[in-house]
Amino acid sequence: MTSAISRKRAPVAIIDVRETVVPIKSAISNAYIDFSQMTVSVVAVVTDAVRDGKPVVGFGFNSNGRYAPSGLLRERFIPRLKEADPLSIADEERHNLDPHKAWAVLMRNEKPGGHGERSVAVGVLDMAIWDAVAKIEGKPLYRVLAERYRGGKIDDRVFVYAAGGYYYPDKGLEGLQDEFRSYLDRGYTVCKMKIGGAPLDEDLRRIDAALEVVGSPHNLAVDANGRFDLDTAIAYAKALKPYGLFWYEEPGDPLDFHLQAVLPAYYDGPMATGENLFSHQDARNLIRYGGMRPDRDWLQFDCALSYGLVEYMRILEVLHMHGWSARRCIPHGGHQMSLNIAAGLGLGGNESYPDVFWPFNGFADDCPVIDGHVGLPDAPGIGFERKRELYEVMKPLEG
Ligand SMILES: [Mg+2]
């Protein structure tokens, strides 16, 4: 006999959050830093939801370029999440976690501004929560996002470009050419190289060497990693302009909106920036004051470094209000989280690091890059389990 009184289900609870630090050091450098000491935090959010006979565990990691925020995670953000009343982070209608509510719990008692690197700690946890949410729904994250926010429309394949061309010690022009040749062999069409770590004339020789391999200048992007003062940024702009490159990235300090706003007078080709802006307020300042052009420029905000997807959706809202399409976004980081966002929310593409930041680089093992585009696996969550070498790093956190 069934009871006439329907029992309310207990909300999905987070029963543990685990964190570990993993090196992603690489023998490379850009114009600003080398990556010899680089680390990432990997987190696992363990829930009491059960799928396929096992508790659902969501994973996250903090992209690359910022060090593992272990102190912040362990002292503030993980305790807040673990101590939260399950009801306070519940999506009761879907019997799931609510990432937006979890975000509010994480950011309780945090003052505005000064985003620093707490945005990285929150971004790691936000990624793990979204992974868990999609696994609880039994769907790939891109599908969850498309269904909730884009009327179900999914991009079957996403544009990706090969980021590399670093200043390797002992690697000359031939080494750069060999590297780019191997990216083309692996299905990429657009390659990106570093500039600003050498004098302008030497960088121009490197660009000429790269062009011999990639062919069209539309297939080559250059990245100064925020190195230049205004005079140097202008000198490079004048020298680069005749090439007609895919883009000229992050010429000056990420918060120097004046520098960015001056450059279009010297450079009419596409520019890209934003990977070191970590909040929707900073993104809004770039859009308001940075002179970025919605018809040609590219925005590279990386959700894993900037408070996660919950905040990234606020950035997309800011862009929408200022007349920008989400298609102008090609996030930094080369990770599967942004790839899911690109496919589910209709971004312009995603970065990829074919040869560095192992095992956090690249996408699902069974999804090759073809003609500069990559597909996504039909697997629940972000798809980490479909990338064997990365999952081997994450799996021990399942317990
Ligand atoms: Mg960059």
Ligand 1 centroid to residue 51 C-alpha, Å: 39
Distance CA 197, CA 29 (A): 8
Residue 206 and residue 327 share a domain: yes
Ligand 1 centroid to residue 357 C-alpha, Å: 14
pLDDT of residue 33: 81
**Residue 204 belongs to some domain of the structure:** yes
**Residue 75 belongs to some domain of the structure:** yes
Mean pLDDT rounded to a whole number for the chain? 95
Catalytic residue among 135, 192, 280, 332: 332
Residue 204 and residue 131 share a domain: no
In the chain, what is the greatest distance between 2 CA atoms, to the nearest angstrom?
A: 84
Percent of the chain scoring above 70 in pLDDT = 98
Residue 165 and residue 114 share a domain: no
Percent of the chain scoring above 90 in pLDDT = 91
Residue 228 and residue 348 share a domain: yes
101 catalytic, yes or no? no
Distance CA 50, CA 348 (A): 35
Of the three residues 82, 105, 138, the one that is the final residue of a domain is 138
Question: One-letter amino acid identity for 37?
Answer: Q
pLDDT of residue 249: 98
Residue 211 and residue 64 share a domain: no
Of the three residues 119, 138, 157, the one that is the final residue of a domain is 138
Check pLDDT > 90 for residue 387.
yes
Number of domains in the chain: 2
Ligand 1 centroid to residue 163 C-alpha, Å: 9
Contact 267, 290 (CB under 8 A): no
194 catalytic, yes or no? yes
**Residue 289 belongs to some domain of the structure:** yes
Check pLDDT > 60 for residue 119.
yes
Ligand 1 centroid to residue 76 C-alpha, Å: 29
Q: Where are the alpha helices (DSSP H) in the chain?
A: 70-72, 78-83, 99-106, 118-137, 141-149, 173-185, 200-214, 230-240, 257-262, 280-289, 308-321, 336-345, 388-394
pLDDT bucket at 147, cuts 50 / 70 / 90: very high
Catalytic residue among 115, 139, 192, 194: 194
pLDDT of residue 4: 45
Residue 195 and residue 60 share a domain: no
pLDDT bucket at 7, cuts 50 / 70 / 90: low
Residue 234 and residue 120 share a domain: no
Residue 17 host element (H or E): strand 14-23
The DSSP secondary structure of 96-164, one letter per residue, reads EE-HHHHHHHHTTT--SS--TTHHHHHHHHHHHHHHHHHHHHTSBHHHHHHHHHSTT---SEEEEEEE-
Check pLDDT > 50 for residue 378.
yes
**Residue 143 belongs to some domain of the structure:** no
Distance CA 68, CA 117 (A): 10
Ligand 1 centroid to residue 194 C-alpha, Å: 8
Check pLDDT > 70 for residue 2.
no
Ligand 1 centroid to residue 153 C-alpha, Å: 29
Question: One-letter amino acid identity for 240?
Answer: L
**Residue 299 belongs to some domain of the structure:** yes
Residue 172 and residue 292 share a domain: yes
Check pLDDT > 50 for residue 158.
yes
Residue 152 and residue 134 share a domain: no
Check pLDDT > 70 for residue 178.
yes
Lowest mean pLDDT among 86-95, 164-173, 216-225, 330-339: 164-173
Q: CATH no. for residue 54?
A: 3.30.390.10
Q: What is the pLDDT of residues 18-66, one digit of tens each?
A: 999 998 877 778 878 888 888 999 999 999 999 999 999 999 999 999 9
Check pLDDT > 80 for residue 295.
yes
Residue 364 and residue 306 share a domain: yes
Check pLDDT > 50 for residue 321.
yes
pLDDT bucket at 306, cuts 50 / 70 / 90: very high
**Residue 213 belongs to some domain of the structure:** yes
Residue 391 and residue 273 share a domain: yes
Distance CA 354, CA 187 (A): 11
Q: What is the pLDDT of residues 213-250, one digit of tens each?
A: 999 999 999 999 999 999 999 999 999 999 999 999 99
Lowest mean pLDDT among 79-83, 114-118, 135-139, 276-280: 114-118
Of the three residues 83, 118, 138, the one that is the final residue of a domain is 138
Ligand 1 ion: residues within 5 Å (CB): 223
Domain range for 107 is: 4-138
Q: CATH no. for residue 185?
A: 3.20.20.120
Residue 232 and residue 346 share a domain: yes
